[in-house]
Amino acid sequence: MHLRDLIQFLGELAENNNRAWFVMNKPRYDILREEFLVLVTRLIADIGKFDPDVADCNPKKALFRINRDIRFANDKRPYKTYFSAAITASGLKKPSQGGGPAYYFHINEQGQLLVAGGEYMPPADRLRSIREQIAGDPAGFMKVLKNKKLKETFGDLQDEGKLVRPPKGFDPDSPVIDYLKHKSYIVWKETSLKSALPANLGKDLAAEFRHALPLVTWLRQVRTISTEE
């Protein structure tokens, strides 16, 4: 897709985040959105070669809307200033909907590309099930995180929103207690597209998502146990 045009559009949107400007520039948005859809469609096909579980993911449903949900937000700006997509085996994007582990990426108004794999802020039942799986097999979980390609590409798990104290019901002396404090089980990396535009963004994304596969696969096999069971 035309990345320079996308970044330019998003930058202007950030400066004019109102409905009137967006309506005037809707034809630009529609073209860029269609190009982004083509990118995601091809990306799903490429990921499906090494992770067949996502091969049937609907690309239109993988895309996030540009409209922000401002019903309960103090920030009333109506539009996001990034294009984003989440590719999952379930076809659902949001953790609250039971989307499960995802391959996620976005491009923002500053030309920053974020590439991620895993689960971001899963709901309470799901989060507890992941923690219990880690506590029950710490060696198996650490083997995933020590995967060479995963570590070289993304480093360690992101610890955004990490608990200060051990979660209730878990051994504070567990060898993986730091990981049990996490609220998200996700890896990500950020790069600037302004300094060097990729020759083939889709192929680059697929290669990086392939390195996130061990974590996505591990999370996918965690059975979510409802607190009502």
Q: Is the confidence at residue 228, as pLDDT, over 80?
A: no
The number of domains in the chain is: 1
pLDDT of the residue at 70: 87
136 located within any domain: yes
pTM: 0.93
CA distances from 226 to 58, 88, 93, 116 (A): 27, 21, 20, 27
Residue 73: band (very low, low, confident or very high) from pLDDT cuts 50, 70, 90: confident
User: How confident is the model over 147-167, as pLDDT tens digits?
Assistant: 999 999 999 999 988 999 999
69 located within any domain: yes
Q: If you average pLDDT over residues 162-173, what whole number do you get? A: 95
Q: If you average pLDDT over residues 49-67, what whole number do you get? A: 96
User: How confident is the model over 15-44, as pLDDT tens digits?
Assistant: 999 999 999 999 999 999 999 999 999 999
Provide the residue range defining the domain that includes 78: 3-220
Q: Is the confidence at residue 8, as pLDDT, over 60?
A: yes
Handedness of CA 135, 123, 207, 87 (dihedral sign): positive
226 located within any domain: no
Handedness of CA 44, 49, 52, 56 (dihedral sign): positive
Share of the chain above pLDDT 70, in %: 97
Helix (H) or strand (E) holding 133: helix 124-136
157 located within any domain: yes
228 located within any domain: no
pLDDT of the residue at 93: 74
Mean residue pLDDT of the chain comes to: 94
Strand partners, 106: 84, 114
**How far apart are alpha carbons 151 and 65 in whole angstroms?**
31
164 located within any domain: yes
85 located within any domain: yes
225 located within any domain: no
Q: Which two tokens stand for residue 90?
A: 């379930």
Taking Cα atoms as reference points, which of 216, 142, 126 lies closest to residue 174? Answer: 142
**How far apart are alpha carbons 172 and 26 in whole angstroms?**
53
User: How confident is the model over 96-115, as pLDDT tens digits?
Assistant: 666 799 999 999 999 999 99
User: How confident is the model over 113-141, as pLDDT tens digits?
Assistant: 999 999 999 999 999 999 999 999 999 99
Q: Is the confidence at residue 229, as pLDDT, over 50?
A: no
Q: If you average pLDDT over residues 170-194, what whole number do you get? A: 96
Q: What is the largest CA-CA distance in the chain?
A: 59
